[in-house]
Amino acid sequence: MGIGNAGTETALRILVVEDEALIALELESLLEDLGHVMVGVAGTAAEAIALGRSTTPDVALVDIHLVDGPTGIEVARALSADRRTTVVFMTANAKRIPEDFAGAIGVIAKPYSERVVASTLDYVADRRAGRADPACPDGFSPAPA
C-alpha cells in the first residue's frame, strides 16, 4: 500500500485495547505495514492496565466499549498517568468521552480508514519527538487544549 512512512527511528510500540478480535487482528497487520510494533492486545480494563504496566507502550489505542463495559475511559486514565504512554481513543462511541478526554490526546472515529490511523501515528510520533507543532491530521479529533 505504501502508506506507512515510519522509519526505524519513528517506529512506535503500540498497545491495542480492543475487544473485537477481528478488528484487533487487522489493526496488528496494519500497524506492521506502517512499520510500528504491536506490543499487545487487551479486551478488558484489567488486562489493558496490566499490559500497560508490563510493556510501557509508546502509544495505546483505546476503544471505549470493552468486554467489561464502557471501561475504556478508566483505561485511558490509568495508562495516561504514565507520561511515557500517549493515549488515543479509537471508538465508534466518541460521545462517551468525558470533557477532559481522560488523559487521551484525541480520538480516531470508527469506522476508521487506514489513512487516518497512519497519519495519526505519524502525528503522535512527531509530537513525542518534540518536533514543533506538527499539523493535526484530518480525520483525527484532538482533545480540547
> What nine digits make up the cell of 12?
512506535
To another protein, the closest distance from the beta carbon of 98 in angstroms equals 15
**One-letter amino acid of 17:** V
Nearest to another protein of 56, 70 (CB atom)? 70
Closest CA to 87 of 12, 7, 29, 28: 12
Nearest to another protein of 30, 75 (CB atom)? 30
Determine the 3-state secondary structure of 56 from DSSP: coil
Helix H or strand E segment including 74 = helix 72-80
To another protein, the closest distance from the beta carbon of 54 in angstroms equals 26
Residue numbers at the binding site for another protein (CB under 8 A) = 1-3, 20, 22-23, 25-27, 29-30, 65, 92-95, 109-116, 118-119, 138-139
Helix H or strand E segment including 14 = strand 13-17
Q: How many CB atoms lie within 10 A of CB 31?
A: 23
CA distance 84 to 145: 19
To another protein, the closest distance from the beta carbon of 111 in angstroms equals 4
Nearest to another protein of 39, 108 (CB atom)? 108
Nearest to another protein of 54, 113 (CB atom)? 113
To another protein, the closest distance from the beta carbon of 144 in angstroms equals 17
